Structure 1
Amino acid sequence: MKFGILLDHQYEPGDDLHRRTGEIVEYVQHVRDLGYDSVFGIHHYLSSLSTPQPLPLLSRLIDHSGTMELGTGILILPLGHPVHWAEEIATIDQMSGGRFVLGIGSGYRDDEFASFGIERRTRVSRMNEALDVMRQLWTGAPVTHKGKHFELDGVTCSVLPVQRPHPPVWVGANGPIGIARIANQGLPWLAPSNVRRNWAVGNLADYRRLRSAAGFSEDGAVFPIHRDLCVADSFDDAYAIAGEAVQRSYGEYVQYGMDYFETQWEGIKEKALFFGSPDDIAAKVRDFADAGFNHFVFRAQWLGLPIARSIEIVERFAREVMPRFRP
């Protein structure tokens, strides 16, 4: 069982990002010393919130993260060229000594695709082709490729990753078609944070069945999931600490067509959040672990919540919940 942290590096426009980066460094140092296994950054362009880009931020954290895995949760792969991504990711894998995890997704925001001159309907095929090209580049051999979206003529990647054949790749998806595609590729499905328990567990069962039918073994397989975490004396106490901040953070997605974060908030609040006492949280972790999830990536930061509160949350989980799942 592994436990990681999802950094929520989104701030009000005009915020002091130098100061905020210092807070992130301090936060990651705490997470490192508490025995967490991984730390992940998020990715968006042109956001309504000031959102530092994940690869520079993760590079800043290399020397403060100990032996933790560092990754993207997720990187919007269709918005970049595979040559760019391949060399950037190989560089950070080298710098970190082979600790990088590449979490990818196809994206959804219309303004991002329009601004890059990319048709949104092509995002899945672009993502799959880009990943295929990146894998070829990471072999170190000359790559000639003529596909639907990209063409390369005998080029060789100048930087190769430490991890061979390449860093682990996790893929995010929020619907059955995408989850089935990931299963048939044999890649880990990164389950989203905002879905209710039965949806996450049911789709994991379908994913594992399809993955097995495609001939992939579960030996050493990773089944990761994002969850929002607040540990307190009770659910009500946890919600008093972080409820307004988490609802505010999810409320930012309404402008991108996700109005269910507003209309269905009570259901999400009750059935998706990992909020509650240590016993409550341990029971939730055990329930999801029994279903097969084995790498929990927790977000304990939200818009407007002081970083000291986030540190208290991850400390209490490490002290009162994590030992129940460790030898």
Structure 2
Amino acid sequence: MVQVGMLLSDVPRSVPPDQQFQDVLRIVGEAEQNGFSHIAIGQHFLYGDLRWMQPVPWLARLAAHVSPGTKLVTQVMIGPLYHPVLLAEEIATLDVVTEGRLVFGVGLGYRAEEFDHLGVPYEERAARLDEILELLPRLWTEDEVTHHGRHFRLDGVRPHIRPVQQPHPPIWIGAFAKAGARRAGRYATGYAVPPELPPPAVAERYELVRTGMAERGLPFGPQPLRRNVLVADSAEAAVAEYARVAKGRYVTYAQRGLDVFDAGKLEREFAEAVQGHVVLGTPDQVVAQLTDLVTTLPVDPLLVRPQWPTMDADETVAAIRRLGRDVLPSILPLPSHSNIPLLDAR
């Protein structure tokens, strides 16, 4: 059966941090009551007018709040900004604290200023991430690690924190580019598809992941798929509401270096610019679109974003309840598949 998860959002800095914390506890509780099985949070540093709570302490606290069956996901951490030992110990500790419910999602990062702030060369991020991904499983499983690489050197270090999950937590790599899908095939257990990729591009990248996993002797299973979803009483109302809550963030993402969209087109023709990847409409229309995704692509879990920084906690709770009432009862019973011919989804 397909599982459905929820991505937590950043919020305006005008929201007091303690209120944000209480709001998140409420939102997560509503998500669990409405059928969501994964809680995911991303990562940014020095994010201007918005606040991202850092995922490791945030998820550690949520582990004590959610039910034992709920998975906690870093979606995604910016891997190249870390030393591999620091990242290995943070994630191993988080897996212990979450009692083996952690999914470790990691990616390259796209905001050059974050790398500048932390003194890491932006142009080295791909090579750094590859080296980190080579080292993490060793630091989680080996008694002694020696590594002389381009960016990191370890001489006979003896890791002292083992994750609860064996051999280690699932690793999801999030990326837009085909190079990221190839990286997932080489190093990961899953490829977390960004919400902005349309289904034909998703299928193309899944095929790259499948090929890479086959070369490692690993089976290709259902993959996490992110979608931005909004349900309303009519298709027109859904488009209008999505523009209200999300348009500003899309424009900001484009201006800050996420080169998936043209900021000018987003300003002029927002509905057309997001068409093809956003799931909008009436309950029946949203169910039909999501059903098509999970029956033509090997999806599990489906990760949806019901919250944007422009929405307060009450609006977010209302969106979660509507998904739980009108959409999830039709999606959760669907079987997940790993043997779907991907060319059929193009």
TM over 0.5: yes
> What do residues 166-219 of structure 1 show as CA deviations (whole Å, max 9, x unaligned)?
00000011112222232244531111012233333443345435544664323x
* 2:4 corresponds to: 3
Residue 7 of structure 1: how far off its partner (Å): 0.5
Aligned-partner residue type, residue 304 of structure 1: T
| Larger RCO of the pair (alpha carbons < 8 Å, separation 6+) | 2
The AA in structure 1 aligned to 2:311 is L
Report what 1:123 is aligned to: 125
Report SS of the residue matched to 2:299. coil
Q: Superposition RMSD on alpha carbons, in Å?
A: 2.0
Instruction: Pick from 154, 171, 185 the counterpart of residue 173 of structure 2.
Output: 171
* Alpha-carbon distance change, 213 to 153 in structure 1, aligned in 2, over 3 angstroms: closer
Partner of 1:287: 292
Tell me the distance in 1 between the aligned counterparts of 2:319 and 2:283. 11
1:185 and 1:326, CA in 2 relative to 1: closer, same or farther beyond 3 A? Answer: same
Is the CA contact (8 Å cut-off) linking 1:229 and 1:313 kept in structure 2? no
What corresponds to 2:99 in structure 1? 97
Provide closer, same or farther for how the CA distance between residues 26 and 128 of structure 1 changes in structure 2, counting only shifts above 3 A.
Answer: same
**Partner SS for 2:304:** strand
Q: Which moved more, 1:101-110 or 1:154-163?
A: 154-163
- Structure 2 letter corresponding to 1:199: A
Matching residue of 1:323: 329
Deviation per CA, 1:128-184, whole angstroms, max 9, x where unpaired?
A: 211222211111512222211111222222221100110000001111222223224
1:161 paired residue among 160, 163, 171: 163
1:9-24 matches, within 5 Å, as: 10-24=10-24
Larger mean Cα displacement after TM superposition, 68-77 or 306-315: 306-315
List runs of 5+ in structure 2 lacking aligned partners. 334-346
2:152 corresponds to which of 124, 147, 150: 150
State how far apart, in whole Å, the 1-side matches of 2:214 and 2:87 are: 30
Q: Does 1:40 align with 2:40?
A: yes
Correspondent of 1:276 among 275, 281, 288: 281
Q: Contact 2:265–2:273 at 8 Å: present in 1 too?
A: no
**AA aligned opposite 2:154:** L
CA–CA separation in structure 1 for the residues paired with 2:210 and 2:322: 32
Q: Distance in 2 between matches of 1:42 and 1:114?
A: 19
**How far apart, CA to CA, are the structure 2 residues paired with 1:189 and 1:261?**
27
Matching residue's letter, 1:297: L
1:226 aligns with 2:231: no
User: Does the C-alpha gap of structure 1 residues 167 and 201 become closer, same or farther in structure 2, counting only changes over 3 Å?
Assistant: same
SS in 1 for 2:238: helix
Distance in 1 (alpha carbons) for counterparts of 2:277 and 2:264: 14
Which moves more between the two structures, 60-69 or 174-183? 174-183
TM-aligned CA distance change 1:163 to 1:214, over 3 Å = closer
Amino acid in structure 1 at the alignment position of 2:175: A
Give the structure 2 partner of residue 297 of structure 1.
Answer: 303
Superimposed CA distance per residue, residues 266-299 of structure 1 (whole angstroms, 9 cap, x where no aligned partner):
3343222112112111111121112222211111
Offset at residue 244 of structure 1 (A): 1.2
Question: Take 1:236 and 1:53, find their aligned partners in 2: how far apart are those partners?
Answer: 36
* Identity percentage of aligned residues: 30
- Give the Cα–Cα distance (whole angstroms) in 2 for the partners of residues 278 and 101 of structure 1: 30
> How many angstroms apart in 2 are the aligned matches of 1:262 and 1:197?
24
Alignment correspondent of 1:76: 78
Are the aligned partners of 1:72 and 1:102 in contact in 2 as well (CA < 8 Å)? yes
Equivalences, count: 324
**Alpha carbons 2:11, 2:309 under 8 Å: kept:** yes
In 2, Cα distance between equivalents of 1:325 and 1:228: 15
User: After superposition, what is the alpha-carbon deviation per residue over 1:242-261, rounded to whole angstroms, capped at 9, x for unaligned?
Assistant: 42111122222133133524
* Structure-1 separation of matches of 2:76 and 2:39: 12
